[in-house]
């Protein structure tokens, strides 16, 4: 019964939050209609100077609305995964430029590598998107600068360790994204995997980053763990199962096409 109650509460939260998204979407549509209406009147009245800003406002709102639906679709689609052995160190190295650009100059990026990381069984694009989302969250949590550490490691979970974090025993490759930011209060930490949960202002956060990453991790038979201490920082750990074949040094992955989604 307690489970059912929790489920009902979750559904209610999802309902409220999808309502919020519909509200944002509606505001954008109102803006587009308003701009086009002004354009029509002005053109009809022969006032063709200074039309650019109304065109730009309409196009800008349309793009933002498209971005919103795109993210919702990506979330609801439950994309089929392209699972294959990944060389995670190469994947992280390949994201270097993108990460530097994302983090800006105030945040130091530290990549901890070690030889002999196992190949991970995952989807390279989804793994990159997840890491990019973690990095964006970390950046947002360090407005006055700090250090972002990305570390890959081999981890073997026995029964007890697996039970403790809620996954199955076995060999995993873990990717840790560690920040020295503001951290999270308990009530935030409890909700980070809820779709649409965000503490960011409208337009900046979708509340889908961590829930999508969690969905990906579970679909890939891995796990996602978030640990945080207020005022000290946050560690996000993505577990991917160890692949039983070596990674093919594949064609370069398009890092620049990854969605810059918070």
Residues that bind ligand ADP (CB under 6 A): 133, 137-138, 141, 179, 181-184, 188, 192, 197-200, 205-211, 234, 262
In the bound state with ligand ADP, the residue whose beta carbon lies nearer, of 36 and 188, is: 188
In the bound state with ligand ADP, the residue whose beta carbon lies nearer, of 35 and 235, is: 235
In the bound state with ligand ADP, the residue whose beta carbon lies nearer, of 161 and 202, is: 202
Cβ contact 114:133 at 8 Å: no
Query: By beta-carbon distance, which residue lies closest to ligand ADP?
Result: 209
Beta-sheet strand order (sheet of 146-157): 107-112, 146-157, 170-179, 233-241, 223-229
- Residues 27-36 as b/e (b if ≥16 CB within 10 A, e otherwise) read ebeebbeebe
CB of 54 to ligand ADP, least distance (A): 30
Cβ contact 91:113 at 8 Å: no
In the bound state with ligand ADP, the residue whose beta carbon lies nearer, of 222 and 241, is: 222
CB of 218 to ligand ADP, least distance (A): 15
Which residue in 219, 194, 218, 216 sits closest to 205, CA to CA?
A: 194
CB of 50 to ligand ADP, least distance (A): 36
d(CA 48, CA 53): 12
CB of 178 to ligand ADP, least distance (A): 9
Q: Are strands 107-112 and 146-157 parallel, antiparallel or unpaired?
A: parallel
Cβ contact 103:134 at 8 Å: no
In the bound state with ligand ADP, the residue whose beta carbon lies nearer, of 35 and 198, is: 198
CB of 98 to ligand ADP, least distance (A): 17
d(CA 124, CA 105): 27
Cβ contact 173:118 at 8 Å: yes
Instruction: Classify 78 as helix, strand or coil.
Output: coil
CB of 186 to ligand ADP, least distance (A): 12
d(CA 67, CA 69): 6
HSE-CB at 58 with a 13 A cutoff on CA atoms is 13
CB of 251 to ligand ADP, least distance (A): 29
């Amino acid at each position: 019964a307690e489970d059912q109650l929790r489920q009902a509460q979750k559904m209610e939260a999802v309902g409220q939050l999808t309502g919020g998204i519909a509200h944002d979407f509606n505001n954008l549509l109102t803006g587009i209609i308003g701009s086009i209406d002004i354009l029509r009147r002005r053109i009809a009245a022969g006032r063709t100077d200074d039309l650019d800003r109304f065109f730009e406002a309409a196009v800008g709102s349309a793009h933002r609305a498209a971005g919103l639906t795109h993210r919702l679709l990506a979330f609801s689609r439950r994309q089929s995964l392209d699972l294959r052995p990944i060389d995670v160190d190469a994947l992280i190295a390949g994201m270097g430029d993108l990460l530097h650009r994302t983090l800006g100059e105030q945040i130091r990026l530290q990549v901890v590598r070690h030889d002999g990381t196992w190949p991970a069984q995952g989807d390279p694009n989804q793994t990159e998107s997840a890491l990019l989302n973690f990095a964006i969250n970390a950046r947002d949590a360090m407005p006055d600068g700090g250090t972002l550490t990305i570390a890959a490691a081999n981890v073997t979970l026995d029964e007890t360790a697996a039970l403790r974090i809620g996954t199955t025993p076995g060999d995993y490759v873990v990717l840790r994204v560690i920040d020295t930011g503001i951290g999270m209060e308990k009530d935030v930490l409890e909700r980070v995997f809820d779709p649409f949960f965000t503490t960011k202002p409208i337009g900046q956060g979708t509340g889908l980053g961590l829930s999508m990453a969690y969905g990906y991790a579970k679909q890939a038979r891995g796990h996602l763990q978030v640990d945080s201490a207020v005022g000290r920082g946050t560690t996000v750990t993505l577990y991917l199962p160890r692949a039983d074949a070596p990674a093919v040094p594949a064609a370069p992955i398009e890092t620049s096409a990854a969605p810059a989604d918070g």
